[in-house]
Copies of this chain bind each other. A is one copy, B any other.
Amino acid sequence: MNTYKNMLIAETIADVRAQVREWKAAGLTVGLVPTMGYLHEGHTSLVDAAAAQCDKVVASVFVNPTQFGPGEDLEAYPRDFDRDCGLLEEHGCSLVFHPSVEEMYAPDAATYVEILDDMPKQLCGKTRPIHFRGVCTVVSKLFNIVTPDKAFFGQKDAQQLVVIRRMVRDMSYGIEIVGCPIIREEDGLAKSSRNTYLNAEERQAALVLSRSIALAKKLIADGNRNAEVVLTAMRALIEEEPLAKIDYVSAVDGYNLQPVEGLEPGTLVAMAVYIGKTRLIDNFIVE
């Protein structure tokens, strides 16, 4: 294995297994932070949480092809592994797993983990029908390779977090899933690797997502509990922005992702909005 300062770099499944086996034999706990790389403070906050809760932190950097649909941004997805290594090491990551596509998927690989109710078809699943099957599959593989005690995911990808919790329960994984808060730029934009796609004008326009959340929170604080009233106000605000095109703005049950009429504590209010050609997501949970 290569190293970057104090951090190990593993490119093979066998190397990860051997290292984790050694740590477990020494009685150490392991936290997993799965990422697609091009890391930002959202990712490093997951590494921080893992380092605080586990003896050793494994981060994966892998742009997983099975979660991208035809016409999505698999090839364009930003990559900078050297920079990622610097950030991971700085935040206390013990090992970064950086496999090739060939290491993760045999040419005839055909096994998938999929939730066969309509949870993965809600929200982002409406326009990304194979996305969560790919996510469940690659996360299961990472669980099986790393066998962590805990795994850390951002609340930014709200549907992903709900889907993974369900998958972990249904598949009886003995792994604690830790959800971590959304990290935002100072002006409110949720951190995302895809923010790099935005030009200056789009970067400014992208603030409609977080501004619509601020509006919704104010309406709810003022006593509005009707989902359609609040969602309509959010959509109107977003539609004022010429560069924005709504994919969805929805209020759903935070456990099963079914649409709700009333905004209760635990309701997930989530959106996907195109800013130019860039699809951004954001969300909040009603308190």
* A-side interface mostly: mixed
Q: Residue A136 at the B interface, CB < 8 A?
A: yes
For A197-213 the 0/1 string (1 means CB < 8 A from B) is 00000000000000000
Q: Does A72 contact B (CB under 8 A)?
A: no
Q: How many copies of this chain sit in the oligomeric assembly?
A: 2
| Cross-chain contact of A172 among B13, B27, B170, B174 (Cβ < 8 A) | B13
- Verify if A89 is at the interface (C-beta below 8 Å from B): no
Q: CB-nearest residue of chain B relative to A27?
A: B25
Binary interface profile of A, 159-175, with partner B (CB < 8 Å = 1, else 0)? 00000001101111110
**For the complex, what is the distance from the CA of A114 to the CA of B171, rounded to whole Å?**
13
A136 CA to B116 CA in the complex, in Å? 15
Q: Is A186 an interface residue (CB 8 A)?
A: no
CB nearest to A103 among chain B residues: B172
A285 on the B face (CB < 8 A): no
Interface centre among A13, A108, A117, A136 (most CB of B within 10 A): A108
Please give me the residue from chain B that is nearest to A116 by CB atom: B110
Stretch at the interface among A3-11, A140-148, A224-232, A239-247: A140-148
Alpha-carbon distance A116/B114, docked complex (angstroms):
11
Residues of B within 8 A of A128 (CB): none
Min C-beta distance of A12 to chain B, whole Å: 11
Cβ-defined contact, A144 with B169, below 8 A: no
- A173: chain B residues at CB < 8 Å are 144
Q: With A113-B111, A114-B112, A117-B108 given, is the CB distance from A147 to B166 under 8 Å? A: no
Q: Cβ of A141: which chain B residues have Cβ within 8 Å of it?
A: 171-172
A92 to B140, CA, bound (A): 32
A119 within 8 A of B: yes
B113:A113 contact, CB within 8 angstroms: yes
From B115, B145, B174, B256, give the contact of A111 (CB < 8 A): B115
A113-B140, A144-B173 given; 8 more Cβ-contact pairs under 8 Å = A108-B117, A110-B117, A112-B116, A114-B114, A137-B171, A140-B171, A141-B172, A144-B172
Q: What 7 pairs between A and B have smallest CB-CB spacing? A: A111-B170, A110-B117, A141-B172, A109-B170, A144-B172, A144-B173, A111-B115
6 A-B pairs within 8 Å (CB atoms) are namely A109-B170, A111-B115, A112-B113, A112-B116, A144-B174, A145-B174
